[in-house]
Amino acid sequence: MASRKDNRPKSVTLGDQTFQRGAGGETHQTASGDIETLTTQVGTPVADDQNSLRGGQRGPTLVEDQHFREKIFHFDHERIPERVVHARGFGAHGYFETYESLADITRADIFQRPDEKTELFVRFSTVAGNKGSADVARDVRGFAVKFYTRQGNWDLVGNNIPVFFIQDAIKFPDLIHAAKAEPDSDFPQAQTAHDNFWDFISLTPESMNMALWIMSDRTIPRSFRFMEGFGVHTFRMINAEGKSSFVKFHWKPKQGLQSVAWNEAVKLNGADPDFHRRDLWTAIKSGDFPEWELGLQVFDEKFADEFEFDVLDPTKIIPEEQVPIRIVGRMVLDRCVDNFFAETEQVAFQTGNIVPGIDFTNDPLLQGRNFSYLDTQLSRLGSTNFNHLPVNAPRCPFHHFQQDGHMAFHNPKGRANYEPNSWGAEGGPRENPETGFASHPEELEGPKGRYRSETFADHYSQARQFYLSQTEVEQGHIGDAFIFELSKVEKLAIRERMVAHLLNVDADLAETVGKGLRLKTMPKAADAARPTVTGLKPSPKLSIIANGPQSFKGRKLGVLLSDGVDIGLVTALKAALDKEGAQIEFIAPQVGGVEASDGSWIEAQQKIDGGPSVLYDAVAILVSEAGAAELRKMPAARDYVADAFAHCKFIAFSAAAQPLMEKAGIGADLDDGCVALAKPADAKRFIETCRDLRFWEREKTLK
């Protein structure tokens, strides 16, 4: 039968670009010159990628169509299992730069030479949600760094919170089962506000310190760029003489710390579920490379023996005020991934990946992790050869006799694939007692048994210390978060059990939460293995607000515009932001933009419904009288203003904006966080005001 004639044009010209039609009518851009021919996996050129091979015009598809079968076969198997925890993550490439030699405390090659740069890959993540869950869930953030050092890969697999829920790895499956969606209903997604989670926590007193941390604003960071990272466990560093020091790892963001408000987080997850990944991607792509400094808390056995808590207990911190942090280098993230799956999804971190000069301690959580991270890669990546993948492969030379297995990219070369052997120079690599990894020869003894050391028994003192180290605003947020989460718990007994624990932390907090839940009677304080030490000194470094950056750099201002906007104000704001190193985004009734007072055209990046104020760190409302009259009729515009105010953001406004603000309910309550822009010179003053990031004083007036 004759084939149907294709009478569609062979090419289409749009603007200055010409597109050519393929066999099925698709277009290929030709402006850039040569186009590669599409092939099958084995390189056979493909003539038609639009139509499968058929027996006749309207007949069945033929099995001999290898291109079709290969394409569908491959597609069917595109997914690999997501991580059982930390499924949703976002990665980036960068480098670590050493500030000074640390030869005094470690022989780790990466820390020997000042100014040396080492390639690295980072993956940030949430813990509980599935791969497709929203970014600003209330959750711990993973902070995993893979350093490709000259003596092998070192993975520092940390979190943005320095303590953990449990003291022994054997409880991890229970913790995670309880935190993730409930097994019968498979909800709630990416939320700890449910019965199973709080049931487990309220029955696990060792998690109380972490419970305070996760109810703080640390679990709703403004983005990955504005959070700290922690190695959590105590590690060892060993110098060339074999001397061991204890060390805790800290990442300090040069951008400063910042979190969002809870109501804002809830709305952000709807407005932009990719808020955090988009933020990192955009910052790196625009050349605003985020940086963190690596800090070490180094201490010896003597300090460990004298410290109030056991340094092997991962539910405890060592306050910076007790062991100051030594800043030893910086990490710069300067390159986005080329392919999300190949890099971010397939990267395999392992706590067991350490290098000569660094060693483990007997922290029972760390010891358990060392098994888990190796094991989990097999079910996720499907082969023992996951280290052959480019993102996991070391950048230094490597030689070993491990061979074969699924998808082996490389095998030992030559005759020898074992040792010892007698093949001399052709016999392959040999061990090297001088340069090779050596474990710290710690003395070990004691009867075999399932133990929980008595030194791990104080579960409340540091929770109290953390709470008392917060500003009043932050303490309020912790109370609100407990009330929110426990209000989602259906069983009264679980709510009461949590309040009983809080009584051992701080009486006022317990009372606030009890009242917020409207408990008819307050429970008795929970039985404590050890009474709370009330005299621990607050550690001001634990507050986010008290340690703000005093800069608006790297932040974003959203400017709501209308036709007739005063161009002088817009230009002045833009200039002030450029100077500060901050971003600006224009929001308008239509995305096409607005015509300014001088007739010039300002393109918008968002239509008002798609650019709610939760997307911005501060907002400006620059509108004409007619514009304000139009916008006050739009619910999205009213929400824009009302939310910015409720989330304690700084608000700049032109005089004509007042009717819109009144309609949004804030006409009479303008406070010092609301700055009138009467003339272009006021823009600079407004951006300076924004350096406080939020006008938290407003919160009191909102209640």
Structure token digits, residue 669: 């309550």
In sequence order, the β-bridge partners of residue 121 are 93, 146
Q: Are 568 and 680 in contact (CB under 8 A)?
A: yes
123 annotated as belonging to a binding site for a ligand? yes
State the catalytic residue, choosing from 159, 385, 392, 504.
159
Minimum CB distance to ligand HDE smaller for 415 or for 452: 452
Q: In angstroms, what is the minimal distance from the CB of 403 to ligand HDE?
A: 24
Structure token digits, residue 443: 């003395």
At 234, give phi and psi (nearest 5°). Answer: -85, 130
Q: In angstroms, what is the minimal distance from the CB of 368 to ligand HDE?
A: 4
Minimum CB distance to ligand HDE smaller for 81 or for 581: 81
**Distance (Å) of CA 447 to CA 444, 450, 451, 456:** 10, 10, 10, 19
452 annotated as belonging to a binding site for a ligand? no
In sequence order, the β-bridge partners of residue 559 are 586, 620
Strand 556-561 vs strand 583-588: parallel, antiparallel, or unpaired? parallel
Minimum CB distance to ligand HDE smaller for 226 or for 586: 226
4 annotated as belonging to a binding site for a ligand? no
Minimum CB distance to ligand HDE smaller for 85 or for 323: 85
Q: In angstroms, what is the minimal distance from the CB of 376 to ligand HDE?
A: 4
In sequence order, the β-bridge partners of residue 330 are 97, 293
Angle (CA) 574 259 217, round 5°: 165
369 annotated as belonging to a binding site for a ligand? yes
User: What is the number of alpha carbons within 13 Å of residue 510 lying toward its C-beta?
Assistant: 21
* Residue numbers at the binding site for ligand HDE (CB under 6 A): 83-86, 89, 123, 125, 142, 144, 157-159, 164, 169, 172, 232, 347-349, 365, 368-369, 372-373, 376
177 is catalytic: no
Q: For residues 389 and 393, what is the distance between their CA atoms, to the nearest angstrom? A: 6
Determine the residue type at 420: P
Q: In angstroms, what is the minimal distance from the CB of 289 to ligand HDE?
A: 20
Residue of this chain nearest to ligand HDE (CB atom): 142
Minimum CB distance to ligand HDE smaller for 68 or for 373: 373
Q: In angstroms, what is the minimal distance from the CB of 394 to ligand HDE?
A: 17
Q: Is the dihedral angle over the CA atoms 398, 402, 408, 412 positive or is it negative?
A: positive
State the catalytic residue, choosing from 67, 86, 93, 477.
86
Minimum CB distance to ligand HDE smaller for 161 or for 587: 161
Angle (CA) 557 562 565, round 5°: 85
Strand 606-607 vs strand 601-602: parallel, antiparallel, or unpaired? unpaired
Q: In angstroms, what is the minimal distance from the CB of 309 to ligand HDE?
A: 16
DSSP secondary structure, 11-64, as one string: EEEETTEEEEE-TTS-EEE-TTS--PPPB-TT--B-S-SSS--BSSTTSPBPTT
**Distance (Å) of CA 461 to CA 310, 363, 375, 524, 539:** 13, 20, 35, 18, 13
Q: Is the dihedral angle over the CA atoms 64, 65, 70, 72 positive or is it negative?
A: negative
86 is catalytic: yes
Annotated binding site: 83, 123, 172, 369, 373, 380
Name the residues annotated as catalytic.
86, 159
Annotated binding site for heme: 83, 123, 172, 369, 373, 380
